[in-house]
Amino acid sequence: MRRMSIALFGVAAILFVAPVNEAWACGSDSDCKVGHCSGGKCGSCGSDSDCKGHSKCSGGKCNSCGSDSDCAVGHCSGGKCGSCGSDSDCKGGRCSSGKCSNKDDYLKG
């Protein structure tokens, strides 16, 4: 019975801590390469300048585009940055299944 209680406590602790760590990717705007920190995640914006050249601001989020020149990584496709035809389109990342592996790196703190 004691082992069962310890095991249940361990599982509960993992379930509690995992979402908390994910939710706090940033604590302030200075933690973000692109956009503002909102809800613990980077990438929120109020204007294009908040996206720091990575993309355009649309609907309060960075990663919108109207043309390839709006994107720091990959091509513009379907209004989003990060599409590619080859690794060179990704500017440091790999092109896999038409998407840059680093398309979201700028949004991570």
pTM value > 0.75: no
pLDDT of residue 33: 87
In the block, residue with structure tokens 């998407």: 99
In terms of residue numbers, what domain contains 102? 2-107
Query: How many domains does the chain fold into?
Result: 1
- Name the token pair of 5: 């209680």
Query: Taking Cα atoms as reference points, which of 77, 83, 76, 39 lies closest to residue 61?
Result: 39
pLDDT of residue 104: 79
Check residues 47 and 104 and name the one with the higher pLDDT: 47
What is the rounded CA–CA span in Å between residue 86 and residue 79? 19
- For the ranges 10-14, 21-25, 56-60, 90-94, the lowest mean pLDDT is seen at 10-14
